């Protein structure tokens, strides 16, 4: 009897260990419903940052250039096959499928996290969130498992030299735009009970206080393909996985140690203080 009991105990321990291993290997599924700013944030580097810490991911981005919350809502109402669905699998390879609807992509995976965001010209205008975000949230929620966590992506202010027409909404002033975005996203998250805000905009603004300065964009509004995009990806990584990104071994090829440190520390500070700028004292 004693020997039988010992065998049962050993089997239980093995099952618990197996269960723990399975939990560690569970693939985390992340979907962004966005535009080119979600493309900048999640389509490169986020998978690699997670992989460097042994986290398996599937990352999706529903892409329409310049897509606003209002347009997402219209697409939802019409069940419009209007999106390019970019999907990064567990192997790190990106595949794209055109003419996809919100409904089809929401059903494509058992999503753990789904993010929403406003188009950049309207990202600091709270009334635009108020007009469209509640309906979009309702549409998404009824098509997702209860476990899925909704997120709001706080995007970034334009470069101070930007020629984007939407910059006029903020008097062509970068800090005015940043503060408007931070305030609008904070208010929208609270009003719609979204507990996870990904503060990419604050991370980019933090990085601008370093020796890099206002050189994180490639065209005045989209992010630079290395330091800018890496900073945003670091922010997503730390906010979702709750792992301090500082010290993560992954960085894009050609990004030096000083810029890697800026990106990681800018992201870490943004997750700690998502609505205010942190000065970074990092030298090249």
pLDDT for residue 25: 66
Measured distance CA(41)–CA(277) in Å, rounded: 19
Residue 279, in any domain of the structure: no
CATH (domain of 64): 3.40.50.1110
- Number of structural domains found in the chain: 1
Residue 20, in any domain of the structure: no
Helices (H) and strands (E) in the chain, counts: 10, 7
Longest dimension (CA), the chain: 81
Measured distance CA(100)–CA(86) in Å, rounded: 10
Residue 115, in any domain of the structure: yes
pLDDT for residue 283: 72
Residue 136, in any domain of the structure: yes
| Structural domain harbouring 217 | 26-272
Question: pTM of the entire structure?
Answer: 0.91
Residue 11, in any domain of the structure: no
Tell which residue, 150, 154, 164, 284, has the closest CA to residue 227: 284
Task: Return averaged pLDDT per consecutive 10 residues of the chain, 284 residues in all.
Answer: 50 45 71 98 98 98 98 98 98 98 98 98 98 98 97 98 98 98 98 98 98 98 98 98 98 97 98 98 76
Residue 282, in any domain of the structure: no
Residue 283, in any domain of the structure: no
Which residue has tokens 């408007």? 180
Residue 280, in any domain of the structure: no
């Amino acid at each position: 009897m004693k020997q039988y009991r010992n065998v049962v105990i050993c089997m239980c321990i093995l099952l618990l260990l197996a269960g723990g291993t399975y939990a560690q290997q569970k693939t985390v599924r992340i979907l962004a419903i966005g535009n080119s700013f979600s493309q900048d944030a999640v389509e490169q580097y986020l998978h690699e940052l997670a992989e460097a810490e042994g986290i398996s991911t599937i990352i999706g981005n529903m892409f329409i250039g310049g897509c606003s919350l209002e347009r997402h809502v219209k697409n939802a109402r019409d069940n419009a096959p209007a999106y390019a669905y970019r999907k990064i699998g567990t192997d790190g390879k990106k595949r794209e499928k055109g003419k996809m609807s919100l409904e089809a992509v929401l059903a494509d995976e058992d999503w753990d996290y789904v993010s929403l965001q406003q188009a950049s010209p309207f990202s600091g205008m709270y009334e635009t969130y108020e007009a469209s975000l509640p309906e979009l949230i309702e549409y998404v929620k009824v098509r997702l498992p209860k476990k899925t966590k909704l997120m709001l992506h706080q995007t970034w202010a334009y470069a101070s030299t930007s020629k984007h027409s939407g910059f006029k909404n903020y008097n062509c002033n970068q800090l005015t735009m940043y503060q408007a975005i931070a305030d609008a996203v904070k208010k929208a998250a609270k009003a719609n009970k979204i507990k996870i805000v990904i503060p990419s905009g604050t991370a980019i603004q933090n990085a601008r206080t370093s020796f890099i300065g206002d050189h994180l964009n490639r065209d005045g509004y989209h992010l630079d393909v290395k330091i800018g995009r890496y900073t945003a990806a670091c922010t997503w990584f730390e906010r979702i996985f709750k792992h301090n990104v500082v010290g993560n071994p992954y960085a894009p090829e050609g990004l030096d140690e000083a810029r890697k440190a800026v990106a990681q520390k800018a992201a870490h500070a943004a997750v700690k203080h998502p609505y205010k700028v942190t000065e970074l004292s990092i030298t090249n």
